[in-house]
Amino acid sequence: MTFDYDLFVIGAGPGGLAAAKKAASYGVRVAVAEQEAIGGTCVNRGCVPKKLIVYAADFARENQIAHSYGWSKCKRYFDWTLFMKSVHRHLEHIHHSYCQQLQNTGIELIKEHAAFSNVHTLDVGGHKVTADKILIAVGGRPNKPSIPGIEYAITSREVFHLPYLPKRLAIIGGGYIGAEFSSMMHALGCEVTVIETDEMMLSGFDDEIRSGVQRGLSKRGIRVLTNSTAREITLLDDGLLLKTTGDFAETIAADTILVATGYVPNTKNLGLEKAQVELGKQGEIKVDEYCCTNQKNIFAVGDCINRVQLTPVAKAEGIAVANTVFGNQPQKVNYDYVPSAVFSRPEGASVGLTETKAREKFGASVKCYCTNFPTLLSQLTEQDEPVVIKLVVNEDSQQVLGAHMLGEDAAEIIQTLGVAIRQGITKQQLHETIGIHPTTAEELLSID
């Protein structure tokens, strides 16, 4: 049978784009369908615009401590509308760059919704298209709890399109999205309350990072209501009311309520049943170690397979699929030692095993080394900005199993350390490495 394309990709997010470009490098015919803006969640309503808000918020903090470094005090006004115009201009530049890259590599971009008709046929904007191999890279969508009035809340999709900066912001969920937005929006002048069902924020991170971030947010004036659950939202003429139950049973007044309770696979309305693609209990697409579904010509990567919901992981999966299918290089993705970060203030980052996971796997042979010290930056100020560094080590082999950090430049430092940990570095080898002084990262090399 002759197909229209060798590879058809549904979704132009990080995973889909990476797979398309890699496949095209092998000389095959590739098309990508995307019904929304190219770049997916990361570019349009996630990593990129969020990090730009982090930078904007950092100026507020720097302004607070500038007088300690000899700068005269002055009043400043933050213009949310002006700032967001700049953000969206930058996103448009990224969109143009991506489109240019696809054009230069001969990849066809189809700005339509795609759904399966059968295992080799897709309905793309009302037209039938056939492909030998099909890759599903449709990402995830924000999960919203089923409570009365939830339609009055926004998600991370809408927060970048707020017409004004709310004075009072309530955030349902204390994961990395909740932590980051609480930190950013508070620094920009919002009164922020976070509702978290667990006893600590940031489930999945090491406990040192979880407690450190939560403590830091609270010190800044952010209310964190732990062991509490959002139960009802009521719309009033002058705002919203959010009722909670649990350790903090309250009624919280807010101008905006942000739901940050994670993402679920975006697998609806794809016609997957027509291709008989098997789904898991949470709607995720079930794949094997090569990201292949139960249909041998259909693959899936990224958040829609619900393995590790991170942009670099989706890219790695997409490239691995292209290498496996078109490069004659069967490739699996190694999910061990994937670094992650929460860009709150204080910032947290981790790579490798948490202390809890390490003890589950290695038992009594696990030993943790932790240091806590103030940053040099804070020495001339009245702000207490501690850095926490924690190494999880297998004492039998001295291998570093995990590294966790709270504080200045945590993400950048953990990112580079991840290479060494992935290669099996030992604590002794860290000690034998000479650092750069004065830096925060040098403390990693002498921790005891």
Q: pLDDT at position 382, please?
A: 83
**6-15: pLDDT as tens digits:** 999 999 999 9
pLDDT band at 406 (very low <50, low <70, confident <90, very high): very high
Across 218-229, average pLDDT: 97
Among 1.10.10.10, 3.30.390.30, 3.40.50.1000, 3.40.630.10, what is the CATH number of 347-445?
Answer: 3.30.390.30
Element (DSSP H or E) covering residue 80: helix 80-104
Q: State yes or no: pLDDT of 147 exceeds 80.
A: yes
CB atoms within 10 A of CB 192: 26
Cα(68)–Cα(105) distance, rounded to whole angstroms? 52
Q: pLDDT at position 372, please?
A: 95
Helix axes 80-104, 14-24, angle to 10 degrees: 20
Question: What is the DSSP code (8-state) at residue 161?
Answer: T
Q: What percent of the chain has pLDDT over 70?
A: 100
Strands (E), 297-417: 298-300, 340-342, 348-352, 366-374, 386-394, 399-406
Across 11-37, average pLDDT: 98
Q: State yes or no: pLDDT of 383 exceeds 90.
A: no
**Token pair listed for 184:** 């950013």
Q: pLDDT at position 174, please?
A: 98
Q: What is the DSSP string of 266-324?
A: --TTS-TTTTT--B-TTSPBP--TTSB-SSTTEEE-GGGGTS---HHHHHHHHHHHHHH
Nearest to 380 by CA among 72, 62, 69: 69
CA distances from 404 to 175, 204, 370, 393 (A): 17, 12, 9, 12
Cα(256)–Cα(223) distance, rounded to whole angstroms? 15
Domains 150-261 and 347-445 share a fold: no
Question: What is the DSSP code (8-state) at residue 71?
Answer: P
Q: pLDDT at position 431, please?
A: 95
Do the strands 168-172 and 140-142 form a parallel or antiparallel pair, or are they unpaired?
Answer: unpaired
Beta bridge partners of 142: 263
pLDDT band at 1 (very low <50, low <70, confident <90, very high): confident
The mean of the pLDDT values for the chain is: 96
Q: Yes or no: say if 182 and 192 are a contact pair by the CB < 8 Å rule.
A: yes
pLDDT band at 314 (very low <50, low <70, confident <90, very high): very high
Catalytic residue annotation: 437
pLDDT band at 74 (very low <50, low <70, confident <90, very high): confident
Q: pLDDT at position 215, please?
A: 96
Q: State yes or no: pLDDT of 208 exceeds 90.
A: yes
Nearest to 348 by CA among 171, 180, 196, 189: 180
Q: Which positions ≥6 away from 114 have C-beta within 8 Å?
A: 8, 10, 33, 35, 122, 123, 124, 125, 129, 270
Q: pLDDT at position 301, please?
A: 98
pLDDT band at 76 (very low <50, low <70, confident <90, very high): confident
Q: What is the DSSP string of 175-214?
A: SHHHHHHHHHHHHTT-EEEEE-SSSSSSTTS-HHHHHHHH
**Token pair listed for 380:** 């001339």
pLDDT band at 202 (very low <50, low <70, confident <90, very high): very high
Q: State yes or no: pLDDT of 370 exceeds 80.
A: yes
pLDDT band at 254 (very low <50, low <70, confident <90, very high): very high
Superfamily for the 5-141+264-326 domain: FAD/NAD(P)-binding domain (3.50.50.60)
Return the minimum-mean-pLDDT range out of 99-108, 133-142, 374-383: 374-383
Among 1.20.1300.10, 3.50.50.60, 1.10.3720.10, 3.40.220.10, what is the CATH number of 150-261?
Answer: 3.50.50.60
Q: pLDDT at position 99, please?
A: 98
Q: Yes or no: say if 191 and 389 are a contact pair by the CB < 8 Å rule.
A: no
Cα(291)–Cα(284) distance, rounded to whole angstroms? 12
Every domain of the chain and the residues it spans: 5-141+264-326, 150-261, 347-445
Q: State yes or no: pLDDT of 424 exceeds 90.
A: yes
The more confidently predicted of residues 272 and 75 is: 272
CA distances from 414 to 3, 263, 347, 351 (A): 45, 25, 11, 7
Residue 164, phi then psi, degrees to nearest 5:
-150, 165
Q: State yes or no: pLDDT of 385 exceeds 90.
A: no
pLDDT band at 384 (very low <50, low <70, confident <90, very high): confident
Q: State yes or no: pLDDT of 336 exceeds 80.
A: yes
CA distances from 317 to 32, 225, 332, 335 (A): 16, 37, 8, 10
Nearest to 279 by CA among 155, 144, 138, 110: 138
**Token pair listed for 289:** 């170690």
Across 378-401, average pLDDT: 94
**Token pair listed for 414:** 């953990």
Nearest to 290 by CA among 262, 257, 323, 250: 323
